[in-house]
A and B are shown apart, each in its own frame.
Chain A
Amino acid sequence: MIKIEHLSYHYSNGEQGINDISIEINSSTSLAIIGPNGSGKSTFIKCLMGILKPQRGSIILNNQNINKLSITQRSQHIGFVFQDPKEQLFKSTIEQEIRFALRKRKDQKDIESQVETILECCSLTSHRSKHPYDVSITQQKFILIGCALGMNQDIIIMDEPTSGMDYKGIKQLAKIVEFLKKEKKTIIMVSHDLDFISEHFENVMIINHHQCIYQGTFKDACRDETVLSQGEYKLPDIARLSLMAKHQLCTTHQEWIELWKKR
């Protein structure tokens, strides 16, 4: 479990990043973070990663305060995908990037087949010898996702992975998220894409003006109109249509198809 208490961060120019955020994230659950531009989502994520050192509050991971741990130490537990992938890429080919991530694995058996599996599931096989800067932003994000799969940490955090992705990329990411859920990982993702969140995420936290203004299940957030509308978010299509047509709330395709099976 990750327990975050009274976390605050302000930038060196005095700018408020986040203000007094507390939340508990249970192991093997999925949490989506939404909120307006500039509300503090990336700042929050960067505090979790250790890129920013919060001035107040604590982050407790499995009963250990990780505030003092470096980024490298944290990366044993947590995999990250930044909002701007360039900040994270430093090898000269994509394959090397993946191999570097796998190097840190305890179990060094089958490394070769793992490299292939990861490249394949991130649709990077044909780009393996390219420089990470020579592929599209979507592909750069998949490199980072591939690295996280390689490191196999218990927690994976992604900052707006779907932004700028085409629909096939999003489908690919969906498969990976479902795979991570099956592997009992804890998944934290920042996104504006409520259709994606609805389908794959259990819980949601809304940040507005640097503070957490809602936390709970995504379904509950859909049930109370005032919640999502605070960030000008609209109900996902699937929820809106199921409510309008059948007065029932569906948030996933599976529920949606079930709904139309009933007599």
Chain B
Amino acid sequence: MAQLELSNFSFRYQGSQDYVLKDINLTLKSGQFTLINGLDGAGKTTLGYALKGIIPHVFEGTLLGEQRLNHKVFQEYTHQELTKIIGYCFQNPWTQLSMIKSTLEEELSFSCENVGYALEETRFRVKAIVRLLDLSHLIHKNPIHLSLGQLQTIALGTILVLDPDVLILDEPTSQLDPLTRRRLFNHLSDLKKQGKTIILIEHNIDDFLELVDHLVLLEKGSILDQGSVIDVYTRSLSIGRDIQYPSLTALLSTITSLDKPILNDNDALTILKGVKSHD
């Protein structure tokens, strides 16, 4: 089980003028499901990198503040140790795959071997993930022969197969069809029950809100607000923040004024019953 923490964390890429993350304070408790939302360029991916230790291990730049895993600063861990505990699914599926393997089955196995799983364990894990994501018709294919959605599913598979304690997913559903999204939802829901710490960066918020314990709104590198889904959107509605609202909330607010977010059909219908037709 694992807790992640950023305190007074700021980061500027080498070559960029401004800080891309500014004074971030964030605690992601063990077993907590966190959703990070914000506009294009807000710094979501950079925040993901910071939580995974890709910053500063891979990307150089100026860093202030601390990153901690289970109360110990990242510097006390080797990169290999962090890799094993924290799984990261990249925004671009091509970044995820090694591309040195000629079939998807090998790609999935390679992912396991990389973190040191034994052959038997690897086989078992690959089999489970193939079943979970319904990949059996694809496993003997070469990654270069896939549709973009299939590629994204496989990229996701290479991380899920590791079953890490912390899972960071950077826009994993952008190319996925509704069925595959549903499968991912179900799996994340199971992982959450097992106590995994999950961080999801998404624009498709509606598909996952049900699972979210902690919502983080990022704006221009700073945390605009964080808290439970209800609290954050209630505050946002009350001060009329121009942000992405859950789709039912956005739809209902076109005909009536809301003081709390609407997240499901039942609540929506209750509100609609009370709507007086207007002219």
Contacts and interface: CB of A to CB of B under 8 A. Distances in A.
Contacts of B174: 163-164
A182 interface: no
Given A167-B203, A195-B247, A237-B247, A36 B179 contact: yes
B179 A232 contact: yes
A253 B247 CA distance: 13
Given A36-B177, A38-B147, A244-B265, A237 B248 contact: yes
A15 B150 contact: no
Contacts of A262: 277
Interface stretch (B23-31, B112-120, B268-276): B268-276
A169 interface: yes
A174 interface: no
Chain B, interface residues (CB within 8 Å), range: 35 or more
Contact of B148 (A35, A83, A241, A245): A83
B251 A245 contact: no
Contacts of B176: 37, 192
Interface string A76-115: 0000000110000000000000000000000000000000
A73 to B, nearest CB: 27
Interface centre among B38, B182, B247 (most CB of A within 10 A): B247
Contacts of B145: 11, 13, 15
Nearest to B175: A163
B146 interface: yes
Contacts of B248: 237, 241
Interface in A212-263: 231-234, 237-238, 240-241, 244-245, 253, 256-257, 260-263
A256 B247 CA distance: 14
Interface residues of A, number: 42
A186 interface: no
B279 interface: yes
B76 interface: no
Contacts of B150: 37-38
A256 B254 CA distance: 9
Interface in B236-277: 244, 247-248, 251, 254-255, 265, 268-269, 272-273, 275, 277
A163 B39 CA distance: 14
Interface in A111-163: 136-139, 160, 163
A232 B185 CA distance: 14
A165 interface: yes
A175 B150 CA distance: 30
Nearest to B144: A13
Nearest to A263: B277
B279 A261 contact: yes
A237 B251 contact: yes
Contact of A37 (B175, B203, B255, B265): B175
Contacts of B180: 36-37
Contact of A232 (B182, B247, B273, B277): B182
Contacts of A13: 145
A38 B141 CA distance: 13
Contact of B203 (A11, A164, A240, A245): A164
